[in-house]
Chains A and B, each alone.
Chain A
C-alpha cells in the first residue's frame, strides 16, 4: 500500500483541462464548471488526439468523451499514465460492460460516469478533481471480478465520494436501480462512519471493503481500522435510542454539545435487509436480497 499522498504531484501554474468533445449539454456543463474556476480548456475530437496532446504536455484534468467504449478509455489511461502517472482522468461513457468499473478503478481513473448520470454529480466530481491535492493512492483494488471485488479506501471524504461514484457507475440490468440506490446509500453511511469513527478521517488509515454480487443478494463488507464499539453504548445514535423515543439521541447530542448526527446506522438498517456487526464492532456486513428472476417454467 502506498503512503498517503505520496504520489501528489505539484500542480502546474495555469490549470488546464483536456476534454474529448461529447457534444451539447455535457460540453456546456464542463465549460461552465471549469471556466468558473478560471481553468483553460482544450478540446479534441477523439482519444488519439487526446493521447498525443497528453503525452506532449501535462494537463491537470482529462475528461473522456462518452462515445468511446470504456475499454478504450482504460487503455488510453494506461498509456497516459506511462508518461503522466498522476493524471486525473474522468471517464464518461455510453458504452460499458459489467467489469468496466473495476478496470477503471484498477487503472487509476479519478472517476467514472456511465449513462444515464446526474449532471450535478458530474459537476461535483469535476470540482473535486480540481481541488483534490492528492488522490491516486486513495482507492486500491486488491482483487476484482464482476462478482467479487476487494479494495482499500483511504479515510477521507473525497475518497468516499469517488468510491461511491464508481458504484453508481455499475450497471447491472438484473439489479433494479431503486435497490441499487438503497445499497449504495446504506454503504455510504457505513463507509463514512468507518472512516470517521474507526479511522478518524486520518488519511494514513484505510478501510477494507468487499462487494459480493451473488445471484440473489448483494453484500458489502466494511472493516475499519478502529477498536470498534458496542451498539448498546451508542446513546448518542438513533440506532441506540428507544424505538418509542427516536429523538432521545438528538437531545443527548444537544446536551453534550455534539454536532447533529447519529442517523447513519439506523438509516442503513432501514435500507438493506441485514446489517451484521462483528463482536468488536469494527467490521460490518450489509446484505440486500434480490428478488429471484422468474423461472422459465413459471413463465409458461
Chain B
C-alpha cells in the first residue's frame, strides 16, 4: 500500500524506498521479494533487470516474483518481467508471479499479461505449480 500524508501523518520509513529486492530459495525455485517500485525514474527497473539477469546467468531456471509489496510499475518494469519470462521460457525455464496488487495488478490486467504469465495468490500453491505433474514430496 502506498503511504500517503493526509490528515493522519502516519509514516513508516520502510515505505520510503525506490526498490528493494531480496532473494529466497525454496527447493529449485528462486523467490524474489520486490518492495517499492519498478519504474524507469530512479533506475529501479535497471536494478531489477540486473538482478534477474544475474540469477539466470547463474543457472536459475525457476523464478517466482513476489509482487505483494511492489507499489508501482511502469512499462519499463513490465518489460523486464516479460523479457525475463520470454528469456527463461526459451531456456526451458519458467517465471511466475505472486500476489500482484493495486496499480501493479491493474497494469498487468489491462495488458492481459496475467492470461499468459501464471499468477498466484498463495506462495505454497505457486511453488507447487513449478513441480512436474504427479510429483509428491513423499516420493
Is A263 part of the contact surface with B, judged by Cβ < 8 Å?
yes
Cβ–Cβ contact B6 & A115, under 8 A:
yes
Interface bracket on A: 35 or more
A118 to B6, CA, bound (A): 9
- Report the stretch among B36-44, B118-126, B129-137 that lies at the interface: B36-44
Contact A26 B5 (CB under 8 A): yes
Complex Cα spacing A247 to B83, Å? 9
Residues of A within 8 A of B111 (CB): 238, 246, 263, 266-267, 270
Residue numbers in B under 8 Å from A127 (CB-CB): 42
Contacts of B74 in A (CB 8 A): 185, 188-189, 264, 267
CB distance from B14 to the nearest CB of A (A): 10
Q: Known contacts being A25-B5, A118-B2, A262-B79, is A246 close to B112, with CB within 8 Å?
A: yes
Q: Give bound CA distance, A262 to B15, whole Å.
A: 29
The majority secondary structure among interface residues of chain A is: helix
Where the two chains meet, the residues of A that have a C-beta atom closer than 8 Å to any C-beta of B are: 23-26, 28-29, 32-33, 115-120, 122-124, 127, 157, 160-161, 181, 185, 188-189, 192, 238, 246-247, 250-251, 253-254, 259-264, 266-267, 270-271
Q: Once bound together, how far apart are the Cα atoms of A194 and B83, in whole Å?
A: 22
Contact B86 A251 (CB under 8 A): yes
Chain A residues closer than 8 Å to B71, beta-carbon distance: 120
**A250 and B116: CB pair below 8 A?**
no
Chain B hits for A189, CB < 8 A: 74-75
Please give the distance in Å from B27's CB to the nearest CB on chain A: 27
Complex interface bits, B23-60 against A, C-beta within 8 A gives 1, otherwise 0: 00000000000001100111000000100000000000
Would B5 and A260 count as touching, CB distance under 8 A?
A: no
CA A8 to CA B90, docked complex, whole Å: 48
Give the chain A neighbours of B101 by CB distance below 8 A. Answer: none
- Shortest CB distance B92–A (Å): 15
Chain A: CB-nearest residue to B103: A181
**A119 contacts B3, CB within 8 Å?**
yes
Could you mark each residue 67-101 of chain B with 1 if its beta carbon is under 8 Å from any beta carbon of chain A, else 0? 00001001110111011111100100000000000
> Shortest Cβ distance from B20 into chain A, in angstroms?
12
Return the contact of A119 from the options B15, B40, B86 (Cβ within 8 A): B15
